[in-house]
């Protein structure tokens, strides 16, 4: 999947992955995609909830060797 920006949130605990994603998404244009890696177990719940509340599209969420990978399209 193609993306416009990347965020490594591994090693960060709730709520930092979502806060960092929000800040990184502010720098993107509407429709651009952020790829985020996180290993916080709470991110599995927090990231989809954040996307729903903020109006962003969670395009994909998958497990990786280091945790999870999220692809978020900015609203």
Which residues are designated catalytic? 14
**Secondary structure E strands in 1-75:** 5-9, 33-38, 57-64, 67-73
**Separation CA 34–CA 43 (nearest Å):** 15
Q: Are strands 33-38 and 67-73 parallel, antiparallel or unpaired?
A: antiparallel
């Amino acid at each position: 999947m193609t993306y416009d920006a990347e965020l490594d949130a591994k090693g960060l605990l709730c709520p930092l992955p979502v806060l960092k994603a929000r800040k990184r998404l502010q720098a993107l244009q509407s429709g651009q995609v952020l790829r985020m890696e996180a290993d916080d177990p709470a991110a599995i719940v927090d990231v989809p909830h954040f996307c729903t509340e903020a109006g962003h599209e969670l395009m994909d969420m998958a497990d990786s060797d280091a945790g999870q990978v999220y692809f978020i399209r900015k609203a």
